[in-house]
Structure formats: structure tokens, C-alpha cells
Amino acid sequence: MAELLYKKQNSIIADGVTLVQDLNPSNSDLEYVQFKLIEMEEGSSFQESLSNTELCAVILTGNVDVVIDGQTYSNLGTRQSVFEKKPTDSIYIPSSKEYQIRAGKNVRVALCYAVSNAGGEPAVISADTIEKEHRGKYSNKRHVHNILPDNVDIPEKLLVVEVYTDSGNFSSYPPHKHDQDNLPEESLLEETYYHEINPQQGFVFQRVYTDDRSLDETMAVEHQNSVAVPKGYHPVGVPDGYDLYYLNVMAGPKRKWKFHNDKDHEWILERD
């Protein structure tokens, strides 16, 4: 099995464009999901042609123009730090399209891919349309921005969500999994986590494990690291003094998020 933890890299891939993360079939066990994180200097550009993949580009910080087949979508992006905790703009690009991203200042873009042969049209997911949600209680609280949840019909396969977990809290907890194609009880969805931490010198813990423990890894995850979840439960714990942001990308054979809790820990949901 490939490693699950992907450290931050700094590969220059174009003039003014740095590749920070790149999870793909050559370095992961993921079949449906791919993920890139790029940082762009003002005035730089990144372009790509999509083949058998659909894409959601999430403008984590800064402002960009995106050109798709000659049409320009201008001034996307709403924040200079993810820890402003407000929604941002994203853009969906269907398979077989060619696109270009043109950077304004302080640009960081998450490129979220899923296997797809569907056609369709590009779509801007504006910040003011994002559903915001609070989950959990006690030390299990988090704040969610649903960018492409399963009740939005724009993509064929992609699910995209960003989550804030404050100091001292757990997230993706109680541990849950979605690795069985067994709807309506459970769906099969691979997943990636891209983490940012405030302050940046911090770390969090993420465990990925299966019921039979054939997969059981616990990782110290640092700022701008990614974690691949091909299967299994995947809780995250945030130490005191640090806040966590993460971006989730999910995809599988059916575009439905239906998870199964670890029965050993499900009791915490029943507390008053």
C-alpha cells in the first residue's frame, strides 16, 4: 500500500507557480480521487486540459480569473487566509475541457479531481451560495462549508467540503468510514484531506484504520500536509493552542455520502 501522509512539497511547475501537493494514481492507492494544491504569484498562470476527469477549483486565498474554452470567469475568491472562516468561491470544470487560471495576489488554489467522462457546463459556486453547518458538541465541534455536497447536482462524481476544527476538538469523530458500496446503509467514497494549521508551526493527529486493523496508521500532520483515505475510519484530533482547517475531496462509484460509525465509539453521540 502507498503511504497515506503527503508532506508539503515546493516544486516549481511554471513561471510563478509552485506545486505544494499532488496526489495522483502514480503515488497513491486512490482510484477515483486526485488532488493538487498550487500557489501562484501575482500575474502568473496555470493551465491544463482535462481528460476523463472533472475538477472543482477552490480558491483558498486570493483572487483569480479562470478561462474555460475561451470564456472568462472573473475575480473569483473572497479571502486572504482560510482562517477568516468565511466561504470562498469555487468553479466546477467538466471533463474534456481546457482551462487557465490567472492569478491576482496571494493566490492558493486547491484542484479537486474525480474520474468522470460526463460532459456538462462549467459552473461557478459563489461564496454567497455556500451552505454553512455546525456539527458536534462538547469537544467534538466543527464548522462546515458545503461546497459540493451530495444534494447539489453539478458534478458527476465529486464531493467537496471544507471544515474548521478549533483548538482541543476532534473532527471526523466519532470515527466513521465510507468504504462499502452498500447503499442505503453505506457508500464507497475515497477521500483526501488537505490540512492548514494556525499558527503554522502546529500539528494535528489523524488516524486511518479498518475494523480488522489490516490498515492502522496514526500520523502527525503538519501545515499544508495531505492525507489519503482509500478506506477505513479517519478521525482527526487538534491539540490545544492550534486551530485546524481542512479541505475534503471525495468520490466513488455513486455520488452519495452515507457513512458508518465505528460501533465501539458511537456511544458518544448518545450523551445528553
The count of structural domains within the chain is: 1
Instruction: Judge residue 175's burial from the number of C-beta atoms within 10 Å of its C-beta, 0-12 exposed, 13-18 middle, 19 or more buried.
Output: buried
pLDDT averaged over 10-residue windows placed end to end, the chain, 272 residues: 93 96 96 98 96 96 96 97 98 95 94 92 96 93 97 95 97 96 96 98 98 97 98 98 98 96 94 78
C-alpha radius of gyration, the chain, whole number:
18
Answer yes or no: is 271 within a domain.
no
Select from 199, 212, 272 the least CA-distant residue to 239.
199
**pLDDT for residue 48:** 96
Q: pLDDT by residue (tens digit) across 68-112?
A: 999 999 999 999 999 999 999 999 999 989 999 999 988 999 999
Please give the Cα distance from 242 to 222 (Å, whole number).
11
What CA dihedral angle connects 251, 257, 263 and 268, to 10 degrees?
120
Which CATH number goes with the domain that contains 184?
A: 2.60.120.10
**pLDDT for residue 237:** 98
Answer yes or no: is 269 within a domain.
no
pTM of model > 0.95: yes
Q: Which positions ≥6 away from 265 have C-beta within 8 Å?
A: 173, 174, 175
Instruction: Judge residue 134's burial from the number of C-beta atoms within 10 Å of its C-beta, 0-12 exposed, 13-18 middle, 19 or more buried.
Output: exposed
Which DSSP state fits 30? -
- Write out the residue range of the structural domain in which residue 221 sits: 5-262
Select from 249, 252, 262 the least CA-distant residue to 177.
262
Please give the Cα distance from 252 to 265 (Å, whole number).
26
45 by DSSP, 3-state: which?
A: strand
**CA angle, residues 256, 260, 266, in degrees to nearest 5:** 140
**Per-residue burial over 203-230, b = 16 or more CB atoms within 10 Å of its CB, e = otherwise:** bbebbbbeeeeebeeebebbbbbbbbbb
Answer yes or no: is 158 within a domain.
yes
Answer yes or no: is 210 within a domain.
yes
**pLDDT for residue 8:** 97
